[in-house]
Amino acid sequence: MRTILLERLRVQASVGILEHELRARQQLLVSVVAELPQAPAMPAADEVEQVLDYRLLRAIALEEVGRGHVNMLETLAGRIAARVLGLDGVQQVRVRVDKPNIFPDCDGVGIEVVQRSPRA
């Protein structure tokens, strides 16, 4: 089994329902965990073609953030998760989206979604 991780990708996104969120982009932290249970721990050859390239996870997250405004973090995370789940070999994906420094008394707020392939 192999797990690919993208942790705390910093992006500027148009997300939210409050007036100030509709006017200005804000920082989000996006994390993706893609599980490939059929992939061996070590690839057959030391070649990028033998693995799920983590650059693809980053590209998917950036593309979804760049699609335009979304009201809910759940929507953004769900879109990212659905695309990652469509990649070859991915049986389960976990996507976490955090808004850092939203409240003065906590580090941030966030949501996490988990999707499992029906073929799993």
Residue ranges covered by each domain of the chain: 2-116
Neighbour-count burial of 97, counting CB atoms closer than 10 A to its CB (0-12 exposed, 13-18 middle, 19+ buried): buried
- pLDDT at residue 120 tops 80: no
Cα separation of 58 and 10, whole Å? Answer: 10
The pLDDT tens digits for 73-112 are 999 999 999 999 999 999 999 999 999 989 999 999 999 9
Reported pTM: 0.94
Fold of 2-116: GTP Cyclohydrolase I, domain 2 (3.30.1130)
CB crowding 27-53: b at 16 or more within 10 Å, else e: ebbbbbbbbbeebeeeeeeeeeeebbe
